[in-house]
Amino acid sequence: MQLKTKRVYEPKADGDGMRILVDRLWPRGLTKAEAAVDLWLKEIAPTTELRRWFHGDQGTWDEFSKRYIGELNDNRAAVDLLRQRIDEGPVCLLYSVKDEGRNHALLLKDYMLRQL
């Protein structure tokens, strides 16, 4: 099983496999062709409320992580759909935020690896 993360603004690579956008909002400034997204799974992204809470400087990364994992635990349909895609072959989780070390796609990747 191959699962990786990548900023959606980076060019498509041969080893990406299925490119799944896991953001609730479409990335700014990108056309569908430029993004080369195979599936937009916005239902698995943090809720609008959680995203606004965190980006509004109201929350810490640790608390955001706990809340997002809680949302994933309650979102079986989206998690199961992602699991099916991962079972079919390599998957690249695409995200748009600039912080490559702390973002929800990394949390999602770790969550899915623990589930499999």
- Spatial strand order of the sheet with 3-7 comes to 3-7, 91-95, 18-21, 39-40
Cβ burial of 98 (10 Å; 0-12, 13-18, 19+) is: exposed
What is the arithmetic mean of pLDDT over 43-69?
A: 91
* pLDDT class of 113 with cuts at 50, 70, 90: very high
Domain boundaries, the chain: 3-115
What number of residues does the chain have? 116
* pLDDT class of 55 with cuts at 50, 70, 90: confident
What is the arithmetic mean of pLDDT over 1-11?
A: 94
pLDDT value of residue 14:
93
Q: Token pair of 96, please?
A: 């748009």
pLDDT at residue 97 tops 80:
yes
- The pTM (predicted TM-score) of the whole model is 0.94
Q: What is the pLDDT of residues 67-95, one digit of tens each?
A: 999 999 999 999 999 999 999 999 999 99
For the chain, what is the mean pLDDT?
95
